[in-house]
A and B are shown apart, each in its own frame.
Chain A
Amino acid sequence: MNGNGNTQMIQLTYREAVREAIREALRKDDRVFLMGEDVGHYGGCFAVSKGLLQEFGPERIRDTPLSESAFVGAGIGAALGGMRPIVEIMTVNFSLLAADQILNNAATILHMSGGQFNIPLVIRMATGGGRQVAAQHSHSLEGWYAHIPGIKVLTPATLEDARGMLWTALEDPDPVLIFENSNLYNMEGQLPAEVGPVDIDRARVRRPGRDVTIITYSASLFKALDAAETLAREGIDAEVIDLRTLRPLDDETFLTSVAKTHRAVIVDEGWRSGSISAEIAARIMEGAFYELDAPVERICSVEVPMPYAKHLEQAALPQTETVITTIKRMVHF
Chain B
Amino acid sequence: MNPETIIKPMNPETTPLQTIAPISREHVLHLLHQMLRIRRFEAKSAELYGAMKIRGFLHLYDGEEAVAVGVMEALRPEDTVVATYREHGHALVRGITAGAIMAEMYGKQEGCSRGRGGSMHLFDAKTRFYGGNAIVGGGLPLAVGLALADKMQGRRWVTCCFFGDGAVAEGEFHESMNLAALWRLPVLFVCENNLYAMGTALKLSQSVTDLTKKAASYAMAAEAVDGMDVLAVEAAAKKAAEAVRAGGGPYFLECRTYRFRGHSAFDTELYRTKAEVEEWKKRDPIGTFVQRLKEQGLLSEADLDELERKVAAEIKEAVDFAEAGTWEPVEDLTRFVYSERRRV
Contacts and interface: CB of A to CB of B under 8 A. Distances in A.
Q: Do A and B come from one complex?
A: yes
Interface of A: 33, 59, 64-65, 67, 69-85, 100-101, 104-105, 109-118, 120, 149-150, 152, 171-174
Nearest to A70: B175
Interface stretch (B37-45, B125-133, B203-211): B125-133
Given A75-B145, A83-B152, A105-B142, A69 B171 contact: yes
Given A83-B149, A112-B116, A112-B132, A150 B337 contact: yes
Interface string B324-343: 00000000000111111111
B135 A67 contact: no
A171 B149 CA distance: 18
A116 B123 contact: yes
A171 B117 CA distance: 27
Contacts of B339: 110, 115, 118, 173-174
B81 to A, nearest CB: 12
23 contacts: A65-B182, A70-B176, A73-B140, A73-B144, A74-B145, A76-B142, A77-B144, A79-B145, A80-B146, A82-B153, A100-B138, A105-B135, A109-B130, A110-B337, A112-B113, A112-B116, A113-B116, A114-B114, A114-B116, A115-B336, A116-B124, A117-B125, A174-B338
A105 B335 contact: no
Given A72-B141, A111-B116, A117-B125, A172 B343 contact: yes
B114 A74 contact: no
Nearest to A118: B339
A98 to B, nearest CB: 9
A5 B117 CA distance: 57
A174 to B, nearest CB: 5
Most buried by A among B112, B114, B152: B152
A114 B328 CA distance: 11
Contacts of A101: 138, 141
B331 to A, nearest CB: 15
B179 A70 contact: yes
Contacts of B132: 112
A110 B344 CA distance: 14
A78 B145 CA distance: 4
Interface string B164-183: 00000001100110110010
Contacts of A173: 338-339, 341-344
Contacts of B135: 100, 104-105
Contacts of A114: 109, 111-117, 123, 336
B308 interface: no
A77 B141 contact: yes
A144 B125 CA distance: 32
Contacts, number: 161
A285 B222 CA distance: 60
Q: Which 5 A-B pairs give the minimum distances between C-beta atoms?
A: A77-B145, A73-B141, A81-B149, A114-B114, A70-B175
Nearest to A115: B336
Given A76-B141, A150-B338, 11 more contacts: A33-B152, A65-B178, A70-B175, A74-B145, A76-B142, A80-B130, A81-B148, A113-B125, A113-B131, A114-B109, A173-B342
Nearest to B125: A116
Contacts of B176: 70, 73
A112 B121 contact: yes
A97 to B, nearest CB: 8
Contacts of A150: 337-338
Nearest to A35: B148
Nearest to B145: A77
B94 to A, nearest CB: 14
Nearest to B132: A112
B61 to A, nearest CB: 20
Contacts of B117: 112-114
B153 A74 contact: no
Most buried by B among A78, A85, A112: A112
Given A81-B149, A82-B149, A120 B344 contact: yes
Contacts of A76: 141-142, 145
Given A80-B145, A81-B146, A171 B344 contact: yes
